[in-house]
Structure 1
Amino acid sequence: MTGGGPQPRLVYERWTDPIAGDVLGLADIDVVKLELSASDEQNWAALESAHGYQVATRTDTASVSGGAQWLAGPELISRCENLLAVCSAGAGYDVIDVESCTRAGVAVCNNSGPGAEAVAEHALGFMLDLAKKITVSDRTLRAGPLQDRLALRGTQLLGKTLGVIGLGAIGSRLVELCAPFGMEVLVFDPYLDEVAAAGRGVTRVALAELVRRSDFVQVTCPLTAETADLIGRAEFAAMKPTAYFITTARGPVHDESALLDALRSGGIAGAGLDVFHTEPPRADDPLLQMANVVASPHTAGITVEAARDIAVATATQWTTIFGGQLPPRLLNPDVWPRYCERFHDVFGFRPNAEPDPAELDPNRR
């Protein structure tokens, strides 16, 4: 830090790996842990004095008694007047109200990129599991004597059509992983232009065409106002009866009731789900009762390697922010002029960079 201002204070709920603390320990930053089990008074005192908040991103935070108040919603943003920046640990940032932050002059950042490999591999794993009926076969063998192994006949990925909804870091890596299978790749992404699509060997199409033609529909976009309820009854009805629906995004991007009906009726062949509307899902969730569903509890991005990479990227981004540099994953570049003014008022110097709109993609994941 320069300019003779106060020591920056960063409040965090948890790190994906302890190495984040080691990285931040080398910087002149006061790091305070937010204890969800502590008193509200104690936590509010920490947050109201914070300049940065590594937001609580656990999917069960809102289910903890009063836990929703620690998400970066309008109330928290208006109450914490010293906040300059709010960051999420992973690519998803639906726990942050970006509009409220922008109005308040608060920068919003995510950490797209470091966990992309883990999630993309998980998505490919779902594809292989469903196509080869691996989980179905395992359940059948464990249930008793095998009657007819031909009933477990699967399909191949070779030459099939992959439809990717949201070609951010995860979607892009998934396309690379699927290259050996010689798949035709269709992409629905309003932020992707024809030149970029051609460079990645994919074809841009409308959502309606993607769901109609794809053998695997993969959702890898973030949850935003644009993507909420993006996949509904019309989209599931348009899919092939032999097609599979897979999501590693966020539950509210698709209509769970419509998905359940499509699975029950044979409208689609199966689904691979890492995310649900309610997380963790109830044991009696009807989707979990379907034999043609393979599920995981929002663990696609949880690997040893990804946890470490995200922690390092998260901590490094905070040192960049408090060092007066442009954060590498700024999601609301329109905030920059006001953010710089507020930063100067607190620390006595202005950030020395300007965001390049061409390099900032609000839809990246």
Structure 2
Amino acid sequence: MVTAADIKRFALLSYSTSDVADWITGWFDDRDLQFVVNQCTTEDQAIETAKGAQVIWIHGSGRCLTENALAAMPDVVAIIRSGSGTNDVPVDAATQSGIIVCNTPWATAQAVSDLTVGFIIIADRRIAWHDRRMRENKWTEMDNLPIGAIPGKTVGLVGFGYIAKAVAKKLSGFDVNLLATDPLVDADEMAKLNVTKCELDHLLTESDFVSLHCPLNDHTFHLINADALARMKPTAKLINTCRGPVVDEPALIHALRNGVIAEAVLDVYETEPPAPDNPLLKMENVTLTPHLGSHVQDFLYHFQRASLEIADDLIHGRWPQSVVNRAHVKPIVAWK
């Protein structure tokens, strides 16, 4: 049985010491906790940095915390991943070892949901297309017109976590019909935000905008494949602000080239950054941004503050706000 009193050392694997703000170091000092930092890029560096640590903290994407590395960290009882995605964390291996895996999706919810709503408007009004025409000295006020205004259209949310819920709240003033699919969220919870729960197939066939908000895992890899795209309306727009590999990119390119769907607005890609010869970069019915969904000026502070909220929960024997494997691991017992 692990108690909160057993947690004495934290290891941050994705920063150099000079990049860690004084207030973070002070947070650990004030609680008499050991805190080690290293910008790890290899398994060996991660293992060395994590020696004796009970909690591993990683910030952003990285590949140093592998299943092999985790197996060489016998003292670890919890992992904190700043941000929403845990596809760069060996969640299954951690779960098998009883290690709690936490993330901070609420820290990114407002910024990413802002971008998502912006993408819906950009796609509906063809703003990026007209911007390109204007820069070519072409006046195109009557060209490429939207099919009606946004009110009355249907937005389908694939996944219904913190970000999707924030999107639903922000779209409440647009008079849209909201659908969502998520096996972990019941219909009553969705109904509180005037969202109708449905199966993925129904969402794809009915939605004018399909917006992706699910985690990347074995179940969601290429969830949006050729078959899924074929179920969408030919006038539909696909929006992806979650993870690139949720979409089968070659299938998406084919669908966009052949009128299977009308448009895509993407912040994430199967390979980041995309290769210079990626066809998406030259397609007129695609709008692209460089994985900036969570990147507002103070996003690092919010990421770090949320991560320390989790750390505080752990050292006091409380379940953190977001534990991705909570159903399969035991809690850390409060220190008496």
**Shared fold (TM-score, shorter chain, > 0.5):** yes
Q: Secondary structure at the match of 1:31?
A: strand
Q: Give me the whole-angstrom Cα distance separating, in 1, the residues matched to 2:250 and 2:319.
A: 42
Q: Which residue of 1 aligns with 2:194?
A: 201
Q: Which residue of 1 aligns with 2:14?
A: 13
1:267-282 paired onto structure 2 within 5 Å: 267-282=260-275
Give the aligned residue type for 2:27: V
Q: Give me the whole-angstrom Cα distance separating, in 1, the residues matched to 2:262 and 2:278.
A: 19
Q: Which residue of 2 aligns with 1:213?
A: 206
Q: Secondary structure at the match of 2:118?
A: helix
Q: Which residue of 1 aligns with 2:141?
A: 149
Q: Which residue of 1 aligns with 2:250?
A: 257
Q: Give me the whole-angstrom Cα distance separating, in 1, the residues matched to 2:200 and 2:276.
A: 32
* Alignment RMSD (CA, Å): 2.4
1:224 shift after superposition = 1.9
**Identity of paired residues, percent?**
28
Q: Give me the whole-angstrom Cα distance separating, in 1, the residues matched to 2:280 and 2:4.
A: 56
Is the 1:77–1:104 Cα contact (8 Å) retained in structure 2?
Answer: no
Is the 1:23–1:316 Cα contact (8 Å) retained in structure 2?
Answer: no
Q: Which residue of 1 aligns with 2:171?
A: 178
Confirm or deny that 1:24 pairs with 2:28.
Answer: yes
Give deviations 1:247-275, integer Å, cap 9, x for gaps.
11111111111111111112211111111
Give deviations 1:277-323, integer Å, cap 9, x for gaps.
11121232111211111111211011124332221110121132133
After TM superposition, the structure 1 stretch with the greater mean CA deviation from structure 2, 264-273 or 43-52, is 43-52
Confirm or deny that 1:294 pairs with 2:280.
Answer: no
Is the 1:20–1:314 Cα contact (8 Å) retained in structure 2?
Answer: no
Q: Which residue of 2 aligns with 1:351?
A: 334
Q: Secondary structure at the match of 2:304?
A: helix
Instruction: Number of aligned residue pairs: give it.
Output: 330
Confirm or deny that 1:243 pairs with 2:247.
Answer: no
Q: Secondary structure at the match of 1:150?
A: coil
Is the 2:212–2:242 Cα contact (8 Å) retained in structure 1?
Answer: yes
Is the 1:228–1:252 Cα contact (8 Å) retained in structure 2?
Answer: yes
1:57 shift after superposition = 2.8
1:33-72 paired onto structure 2 within 5 Å: 33-36=37-40, 43-58=46-61, 61=62, 68=63, 70-71=64-65
**Relative contact order: is structure 1 or structure 2 higher (C-alpha 8 Å, sep ≥ 6)?**
1
After TM superposition, the structure 1 stretch with the greater mean CA deviation from structure 2, 177-186 or 39-48, is 39-48
Provide structure 1 residue ranges, at least 5 long, that are not aligned to the other structure: 62-67, 341-349, 354-365
Q: Give me the whole-angstrom Cα distance separating, in 2, the residues matched to 1:129 and 1:186.
A: 20
Q: Give me the whole-angstrom Cα distance separating, in 2, the residues matched to 1:351 and 1:324.
A: 4
Q: Which residue of 2 aligns with 1:357?
A: none
After TM superposition, the structure 1 stretch with the greater mean CA deviation from structure 2, 226-235 or 318-327, is 318-327
Is the 2:180–2:198 Cα contact (8 Å) retained in structure 1?
Answer: yes
1:331 shift after superposition = 1.9
1:203 shift after superposition = 1.0
Q: Secondary structure at the match of 2:142?
A: helix
Q: Give me the whole-angstrom Cα distance separating, in 2, the residues matched to 1:7 and 1:177.
A: 41
Is the 2:14–2:38 Cα contact (8 Å) retained in structure 1?
Answer: yes
Q: Give me the whole-angstrom Cα distance separating, in 2, the residues matched to 1:3 and 1:180.
A: 45
Is the 1:158–1:183 Cα contact (8 Å) retained in structure 2?
Answer: yes
1:48-197 paired onto structure 2 within 5 Å: 48-58=51-61, 61=62, 68=63, 70-71=64-65, 73-143=66-136, 145-146=137-138, 148-154=140-146, 155-197=148-190
Q: Give me the whole-angstrom Cα distance separating, in 2, the residues matched to 1:77 and 1:279.
A: 25
Q: Secondary structure at the match of 1:304?
A: coil
Q: Which residue of 2 aligns with 1:228?
A: 221
Give the aligned residue type for 1:26: D
Q: Secondary structure at the match of 1:53?
A: strand
Question: What is the TM-score normalised by the length of structure 1?
Answer: 0.83
